[in-house]
């Protein structure tokens, strides 16, 4: 593969990892940079899909560590949240080996557009009140189903799943944006363990490029967590809106 002989491609993987780690920490969509780059190195779509999970796992672990160090990682609700997510992940990851990505792409694009429109026209839907207590998945059918869908999509293709997780955690379960981001990263890391295990078992992971990207994400995560704690929730929401619209536009242009 080209990454074994092309230092520029290896450097691009490191750089893309930094950018993806930063973007994924704030919102999501970093995988949309990594997937095509891995495919440019000569990987098949299935191999790139599996290889990307190495960086996602490492960046998630580091992000959780950074949020926890700052006292903004809510571990207590994680077990209840992870049950629907991991059930969905199992379904989505197994489906990824047999079904075309085109099946879920329209669903994702529609979901992202809806999230963007809600943020523009009904911003309070993604802005819990200061005294509003978060819900548990068992207290919200929509929240439980949303988490299941997040797990299924994350297991299937990963790229962009952060947007949908934010919509469920903040919009449905009513976490504030900062803690919603922290939970999103813990959830992503948890279902990536399951997904990566399945991809490894199917020999769909190239470890060297995966670790190159992962090395970059470590720096990106540290920059992203620091930034997330310095800016206001309103700024974070606007950043999320811009990212959602950019991903929707790119996906629509691509086809």
Per the structure, the complete domain to which residue 79 belongs is given by 2-254
- pLDDT per position as a tens digit, 181-204: 888 889 988 888 888 998 899 898
- How high is the pLDDT of residue 194? 84
- How high is the pLDDT of residue 27? 66
- pLDDT per position as a tens digit, 63-108: 888 888 888 888 888 889 999 999 998 888 887 667 665 665 566 5
3-state class (DSSP) for residue 125: helix
> Is the model's pLDDT at 148 over the cut of 90?
yes
Q: Which residues of 7-28 are buried (b: 16+ CB within 10 A; e: fewer)?
A: eebbebbeebbbbbbbbbbbbb
Q: How many domains does the chain have?
A: 1
Q: Is the pTM of this model over 0.85?
A: no
Could you tell me the CA-to-CA distances from 83 to 55, 145, 168 in Å, in that order?
23, 11, 15
- pLDDT per position as a tens digit, 30-67: 776 787 778 777 787 778 888 988 998 998 898 888 88
Instruction: Supply 75's token pair.
Output: 């571990």
């Amino acid at each position: 593969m080209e990454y074994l002989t092309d230092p520029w491609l290896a450097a691009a993987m490191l750089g893309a990892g930094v950018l993806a780690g930063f973007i994924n920490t704030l919102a999501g969509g970093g995988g949309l940079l990594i997937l095509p780059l891995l495919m440019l190195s000569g990987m098949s779509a299935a191999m790139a899909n599996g290889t990307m999970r190495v960086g996602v796992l490492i960046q998630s672990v580091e992000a959780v560590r950074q949020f926890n160090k700052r006292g903004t990682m809510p571990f207590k609700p994680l077990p209840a949240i992870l049950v629907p997510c991991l059930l969905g992940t199992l379904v989505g990851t197994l489906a990824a080996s047999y079904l075309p990505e085109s099946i879920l792409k329209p669903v994702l694009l529609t979901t992202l557009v809806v999230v963007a429109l809600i943020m523009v026209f009904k911003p309070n839907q993604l802005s819990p009140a200061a005294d509003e207590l978060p819900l548990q998945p068992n207290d919200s059918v929509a929240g439980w189903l949303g988490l299941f869908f997040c797990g299924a999509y994350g297991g299937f293709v990963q790229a962009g799943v952060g947007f949908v997780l934010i919509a469920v955690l903040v919009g449905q379960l009513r976490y504030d944006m900062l803690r919603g981001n922290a939970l999103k990263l813990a959830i992503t890391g948890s279902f990536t363990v399951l997904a990566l295990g399945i991809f490894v078992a199917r020999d769909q992971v190239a470890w060297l490029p995966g670790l190159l990207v992962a090395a970059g994400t470590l720096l990106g995560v540290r920059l992203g967590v620091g930034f997330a704690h310095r800016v206001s929730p309103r700024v974070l929401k606007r950043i999320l809106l811009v990212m959602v619209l950019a991903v929707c536009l790119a996906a629509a242009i691509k086809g």
